[in-house]
Amino acid sequence: MPRMRAIQAAVQILQREGVTHAFGVPGAAINPLYAALRENGTISHVLARHVEGASHMAEGYTRAAAGNIGVCIGTSGPAGTDMITGLYSASGDSIPILCITGQAPTARMHKEDFQAVDIAAIAAPVTKMATTVLEPAQVPRAFQQAFHLMRSGRPGPVLIDLPFDVQMAEIEFDVDAYEPLPVYKPQATRAQIEKALDLLATAERPLVVAGGGIINADAADLLVEFAELVDVPVVPTLMGWGAIPDDHRLQAGMAGLQTSQRYGNENLLASDLVLGIGNRWANRHTGGLETYTRGRTFVHVDVEPTQIGRVFPPDLGIVSDAGAALRLFVEVARERRAAGQLPDRGDWVEECARRKRTLLRRTHFDDVPIKPQRVYEEMNKAFGRDTRYVSTIGLSQIAGGQFLHVYRPRHWINAGQAGPLGWTVPAALGVCVADPDATVVALSGDYDLQFLIEELAVGAQFNLPYIQVLVNNSYLGLIRQAQRAFDMDFAVQLAFDNVNSPELGGYGVDHVKVAEGLGCKALRVHEPDRIGPALEEAKKLLVEHRVPVVVEVILERVTNISMGTELDEVVEFEELASTGEHAPTAIAALGLASAQLLD
């Protein structure tokens, strides 16, 4: 039996489990792992500038790379605590990433040794497993179990903490005898699918709500096939966006309080049955449950048993992997269509399509300073169907969800549940590693960019080119909008007179100089008719220099973006593109009330 250090066995297992890339920051307590990676030579490594950034790079990688799992690495102590945000973000969105941390030697862990912290206990609430391996011979099984758990059931992250002496100890291990553990995914039965389709058949105005579980299961094609067979409109959630192309005749818009379209909300409110697949009824999607559920029958399909009934009790719950369920949905729907047992949905489909054509928000503004809506209009013109968008939180992301268009699964990369500021830049870099030939476009407000702006240097060092669209209003815009409820505008202004850049006119940080100082290219736009040319120039710079290109758009300081507290109480602030009416008047005609805004 071959003998080797436990950490060498761990790297061989990473290779056998399909790992090809890792993101991290070396340190004394994790140097044995780095030595093993260097010796093995099959796993490339991207050096982050902040360990939290490494965890978000691993997230972006997994979210873009179907089947592969992102790995982030850090040393002992604060490296692990820095990665907790990434673990939380991955856990909330059902994203498998593997976090590996170094640890003080086992004999000194309880002696308040330098950078010794019980990271497994800290990480436990935001992982599927968090363990400190105390016996060298258990290292291979810890990694084997980690991959099994990350892929089984509801996907999610795992943390493995390795004391220095455990990494260095010799064990007997034969990688040729190693096999990944079988992945467990619950599967719907035919009887369950038959009952769900029976309920669908009795409804007059059914909808499918397509969640991120469909993306995780790589089942978007099955979703579209099923929707077409039964001729039922589809409302994707924020995490399911791209599961059906935005321009598909059955794509009925997104519903929700913030990242939604007017027609998406109206279509859901008009429905009488909702079939949710791979979704968790997140509160930004549902709003108040009384409004969301009133007058509707619900079928809920989810891979995680504890999700069924967690938010509200469905009329029919089915525990199943989304892909397994959709395969059966397609099979049974084909049989029923062949037998002439599916109802005609033409009127309902046209009703949803009519709302999609008419209930639009205005995007074309010629104002200077620039209104943010114009930015998204120009982005839609500049970027094609294969663009991978990356964003996380704030008015920039909310407006992106309202105005951008997504046509492919894994082409809207978003931290949906946690929404941590700073996530966008490192996540975009992870997407670039996962798909080096993709057009990657990240979307940030100024504060999101500033949180982990140093990671732009990673893109420059490792030639990871993407376009970073920066909408700059020098405000914590979403929080400022939420503060309307408290009649204040307090501690949310980022503007100041920059003594080194007076041409910014009080907008504070000179992001162009910072980006250039980090080895990237950067452009600044002040007029709306220059947005399009700047985006085209950014594309050329990507090809020429193979580094991130920041396109900063200077916005008006205050713009309120449509949102609300209930699906039928979304406040609209601008004229509607379809009618020219002033938005509050049009909403009153639709029976929608004004509401206080959420953060």
Token match 């990480």: residue?
123
51 classed as catalytic: yes
Query: Cβ contacts of residue 186 below 8 Å, gap of 6+?
Result: 153, 303, 305, 319, 320, 321, 324
509 classed as catalytic: no
Residue ranges in 2-98 assigned as alpha helix (H): 6-16, 31-40, 51-64, 78-82, 84-92
The answer to whether 475 touches 492, Cβ cutoff 8 Å, is yes
Which residue from 100, 90, 202 is spatially nearest to 156, judged by alpha carbons? 90
Measured CA to CA, the distance from residue 493 to residue 164 in angstroms comes to: 46
Q: How many CB atoms lie within 10 A of CB 43?
A: 16
For 335-451, where are the E strands, in sequence order?
A: 388-391, 412-414, 440-445
476 classed as catalytic: yes
Phi, psi (deg, nearest 5) at residue 111:
-105, 20
Q: Which residues pair with 4 in a beta bridge?
A: 171
Measured CA to CA, the distance from residue 440 to residue 463 in angstroms comes to: 13
Token match 């818009």: residue?
253
Pick the catalytic residue: 360, 479, 494, 514?
Answer: 479
25 classed as catalytic: yes
Pick the catalytic residue: 25, 200, 504, 561?
Answer: 25
Measured CA to CA, the distance from residue 133 to residue 96 in angstroms comes to: 20
Q: How far apart, in Å, are the Cα atoms of 83 and each of 58, 450, 563?
A: 11, 18, 31
479 classed as catalytic: yes
Strand-pair category, 549-554 with 467-472: parallel
Eight-state DSSP code of residue 533 = H
DSSP code per residue over 291-349: HHHTT-EEEEEES-GGGTTTSS--SEEEE--HHHHHHHHHHHHHHHHHTT-SPP-HHHH
Residue 76 amino acid letter: S
Pick the catalytic residue: 30, 33, 51, 456?
Answer: 51
Pick the catalytic residue: 476, 518, 531, 597?
Answer: 476
Query: Cβ contacts of residue 372 below 8 Å, gap of 6+?
Result: 395, 396, 399, 471, 473, 555, 559, 561
Measured CA to CA, the distance from residue 66 to residue 69 in angstroms comes to: 8
Q: Which residue numbers are catalytic? A: 25, 51, 421, 476, 479
